[in-house]
Amino acid sequence: MTNPGKLMIIGGGEDKKNEKIILKEFVRLAGGDSAKIVIMTCATNLPEEVAKEYTDVFEEIGGSSIKVATLDIRERSQANAPEAVETLLDATGVFFTGGSQLQLVRSIGGTKIDTVLHDLYDKGLIIAGTSAGASMMSSVMIIEGSTGETATVGLTTLGGGLEFLRGVIVDQHFAQRGRTHRLISAIARYPHFLGIGIDEDTALIVCDTLCNVIGQGSITILDAGGVAEGIPDKNIDDSENISISGIKLHLLSSGSRFDLRNRINVKNV
């Protein structure tokens, strides 16, 4: 069944001062000057500062008629509170800020807020997330992992995400922080998942299984589905280097479109 909702998965560092391409597109998809946006600051340790920054930008983009609210969930009890749920019910767009993806998932995973977000997404809501808010979109999430190091079996620590987009593992700040090896480490352990690495000031907009790229950087998609050898055995030590071949790589820039179900560039169909 086609899901009418949309996801905007942002690699962090999105432009907030100049052209604001990504944030303008989010506001447009959320309803433009009639948008009702909820900013979720549960990943950051600076919720008031971050909320004000995004509120100012969204109001600048959408004008005086736009409505912006903030939900700062620190405890799971807050995520089950009726007033928190009520804040979301009229939203046309929800925006997750950066911070700690583990903190984010621990705060709302499996709560009423989580359930309501999925229900609203199924009905057409656009959900955006930047940095940590991008990582939490998938079923399996990179919690932490060294950057710029040799790809070892245990280079990344993985955990459960909020499952808005299944069948993928998302990494952010991708080119800027040299995270290719840690994404390879992740998909080597989950070869049936696509690895999606998103550069800063770049976003993947997902509608059902089709997606398109906007922003200044690139998106790297790693497909280990055709790998015949090199998938780590469960008995291999985490410190062992990965030796793997046959990973398919797609490098997508602004304007590119990709079919997640068939794992192909739409232009090649």
Active site residue ranges = 131, 149, 173
In angstroms and rounded to an integer, the radius of gyration of the C-alpha atoms of the chain is 18
- For the chain, give the longest Cα–Cα distance: 59
User: Cα separation of 165 and 237, whole Å?
Assistant: 30
Instruction: Name 45's Cβ contacts closer than 8 Å, sequence gap at least 6.
Output: 99, 100
User: Cα separation of 252 and 175, whole Å?
Assistant: 13
Amino acid at site 192: H
Q: Please state whether beta strands 218-223 and 248-253 pair in parallel, antiparallel, or not at all (unpaired).
A: antiparallel
User: Cα separation of 19 and 262, whole Å?
Assistant: 33
Amino acid at site 104: L
Inter-residue contact 133 to 94 (CB < 8 Å): no
Inter-residue contact 249 to 221 (CB < 8 Å): yes
Inter-residue contact 22 to 201 (CB < 8 Å): yes
Amino acid at site 227: V
Nearest of 176, 178, 221 to residue 199 by alpha carbon = 176
Q: Please state whether beta strands 93-96 and 36-40 pair in parallel, antiparallel, or not at all (unpaired).
A: parallel
